[in-house]
Amino acid sequence: MLAYVFWHWPQSTVDRDIYRADLIAFHETLRANKPTGFLRSTVFEIHNANWLNTTGSAFEDWYLVYDSAALDPLNEGAVTGPCEQPHNLVARKAAGGTAGLYRLRTGTAEISNSRNALWFSKPEGESYEEFFKRMRDICPERSGLWGRQMTLGPTTEFCLLTADEKDFGLTGQHMSLEMVWSGG
């Protein structure tokens, strides 16, 4: 399972509530017109992400797909046909954006109940085998560990999504997630 994660924020002259409503309308249209291999999307609002070119809040869209073969149909389907107009409405109001591709490494892909994210790097000196075993042991139920693929993305190597904030003994950037929309 893969997640295409897209961060974006509205222009300063755009009403945030209108931007948010347009974003929800886009995701609802995408859900009603699912491209091949697309499972569902979830949108969070986040604050102070150190990898974004904005000081305010931003939106974090998670698009879950079966595999990499589903990326082309998602890329095409999100901007054509019934999704074209809702997509363009949001895109014209965006001040900027960036994205990354992540693979579920352990845990659940059910991200709609996530309220916390920890973006971090694998501790130095720990093998991947040891790291993944430790993460399987300490990750709470209903959490998911996502790993950046092919160094695509502006973030650190891993993202741990959880329903509750917990200290895992890992150093990274903690983000509170405010649910905006979930299609799953």
What is the pTM for the complete model shown?
A: 0.96
Q: Report the CATH number at residue 42.
A: 3.30.70.100
pLDDT at 8: 98
**Tokens encoding 48:** 């102070």
pLDDT at 167: 81
Q: How far is CA 96 from CA 3, 37, 58, 162, 179, in A?
A: 20, 27, 10, 27, 21
- For the chain, how many structural domains are there in total? 1
Domain that holds residue 106: 2-182
Q: DSSP letters along 62-85, please?
A: EEEESSGGGHHHHHHHTTSGGGHH
pLDDT at 147: 97
Residuewise pLDDT in 10s, the chain (184 residues):
999 999 999 999 999 999 999 999 999 999 999 999 999 999 999 999 999 989 889 999 999 999 999 999 999 999 999 999 999 999 999 999 999 999 999 999 999 999 999 999 999 999 999 999 999 988 888 899 999 999 888 999 999 999 988 888 889 999 999 999 999 7
pLDDT at 140: 80
pLDDT at 184: 73
pLDDT at 165: 83
Map tokens 């093998």 to a residue.
127
